Amino acid sequence: MKNILLPLSLLASITAAQAQSANGGGTRFGLKVGVVAATLAGDNKDFEGNVQNRFGFQAGVTTTTTLGVGGLFELHPELLYSQRGYQIEDVSKTTYHNIDLPLLARINAAGLVFEAGPQIGYLFARKTKFENSSMADVTTRGQLNKLQFGYIVGVGYQLESGPNVGIRYNGGITKLYDGDAALAGGNSIRNSVFQFQLGFAFPGSN
């Protein structure tokens, strides 16, 4: 439990600090939910078989702080629970459970939003379920890298009244397995995730 609570507390503190330190046109807090289409990337991503998308869930809290005059530039940290993973047809389904902190810079052109930035994530759980009922599910993280860095690029639309929608690509920078992973080609594999999101930004304060 400590391994989960410590990074969650750290990420929450960073998010709060980002919101408090920014100045300009005020900060809006919000909520976000979404569907993810996750798979693996890399030359050897099919080392276990034909890798396919694994659909999952995402949810969390957001802050948006307007910078400067005119409301064009924004700072947008989030704190999210996110699922990643992949599936191999007729063999297995793997889900990774993560706490993610995207730190995004955004351009808001009259509601049309373009965003990009880094993301730090913590892998706190993993489950691989096999189609063959005689094989036990795998729930250990093993040689998976628990601290994961990535990047996000996306586009969306934000209504002034609060509702918003967006689509993103989240690419992994950190390798999925550590350097000692005894897997054929497994050391070069990274996460690759498309995210489809709905949210609501509450009225802000100056």
In order, the DSSP letters of 115-175 are EEEEEEEEEEEEEEEESSTTSPPB---TTB-SEEEEEEEEEEEE-TTSEEEEEEEEEE-S-
The pTM is what? 0.81
Considering the domain boundaries, does residue 92 fall inside one?
yes
Residue 14 pLDDT class (50, 70, 90 cuts): very low
What is the structure's pLDDT at 5?
A: 47
CATH of the domain at 182: 2.40.160.20
Considering the domain boundaries, does residue 130 fall inside one?
yes
Which domain covers residue 42, as residue numbers? Answer: 2-21+30-201
Considering the domain boundaries, does residue 128 fall inside one?
yes
Considering the domain boundaries, does residue 206 fall inside one?
no
Considering the domain boundaries, does residue 189 fall inside one?
yes
Considering the domain boundaries, does residue 115 fall inside one?
yes
pLDDT above 90 (res 43): no
User: How many domains does the chain fold into?
Assistant: 1
